[in-house]
Amino acid sequence: MKEKRTRIIVIVGPTASGKSDLALRLVLWLRKQAKHPERVKRIEGLPTDTEIISADSRQVYRGLDIGTGKVTKKEQKLVPHWLIDVANPKNPAVAGFTVDNFKKMAEQAIKDIVSRGKIPIVVGGTGLYIDALVYGINFPEVPPNPKLRLNFNRLSAEKLFDKLRKIDPKRAETIEPKNKRRLIRALEILESGQKIPVLDTRYNILDTRYSVLWLGLNPKDLYERISKRLDQRLKKGLIAEIKHLLYSHILTNKRIDELGLAYREVPRYLRGEIKKEEMRNNILKSEINYAKRQMTWFKRNKKIKWLRNEKEAMRLCRSFLGRHHL
């Protein structure tokens, strides 16, 4: 008899699509079921609580709160969240937090959550992290090559991106074109003779130790949501947050630029290189482009059930959690 696979729920989608809000509502819904034994009795094996694992490559860093849209401390007390504030933002991803770090920490989190009779919900927009976890993908351990990096650093991000696009067009589709650090790392791995795993067409045959309910959010008014959320973050203190990171010498200009999106544009405004309106427009444009890259990644996975409303999510969860998967 085959061993039962661990059941997990995965909620994906582009930035500002409402993933975190949906995850929190699902948790509260599950807890509500526990207050009605007659409902639970009809659904054999239905867990009555859950915990959330964040799959966001920026939310792992301490101090990057408003700009990454972390859930509030109050929400974290309401529902335990894993993989938030687990890394020092000073460290570049190559030497500090990597996709492999995420995979190992998330696997441990799932074991912990399941051991207490709860269901793990993985929530995030970093497709690479999620796929590495779900499908157990191991990434090449290529050590830094100082000489190669020095040569690549002399090139502009545009030239590095063109170089990557010629060597590995699939990887180029999902990487931020202006992020020199990630471009250099991708090229460094390729120059070593190893390939960067890219999951794009074989989801139907990839194996996993988990039984997964894939839920996706991609609202029609996404760009308006991104714009509205940006204004909310500016009012909340986004500029002050980034100013503190810079002026308190927590992060260097180079390092904060590597983080991209608002963390790239706000410092330009603080240095007087651009006006506030241009800063906002640049952030908005970069976040919309980021959302497009995220959807490019997620659309490859035909297992994702793209939700029309919250009720559909509840119905799918009820059915999924009530079944026994082998």
Q: Residue positions in the annotated binding site for ATP?
A: 13-20
Give the span between the Cα atoms of 237 and 179, in whole angstroms: 24
Which residue, among 185, 157, 152, has the nearest Cα to 171 in the 3D structure? 185
- Compute the CA torsion angle 155, 297, 68, 143 (nearest 10 deg): -50
Annotated binding-site positions = 13-20
- For residue 239, give the amino acid letter: I
Residue ranges in the chain assigned as alpha helix (H) = 19-34, 37-41, 73-78, 99-115, 127-135, 146-153, 157-167, 169-172, 180-191, 222-236, 238-247, 253-258, 262-270, 276-298, 310-321
Annotated binding-site positions for substrate = 15-20
The dihedral of CA 64, 274, 225, 13: what is its sign? negative
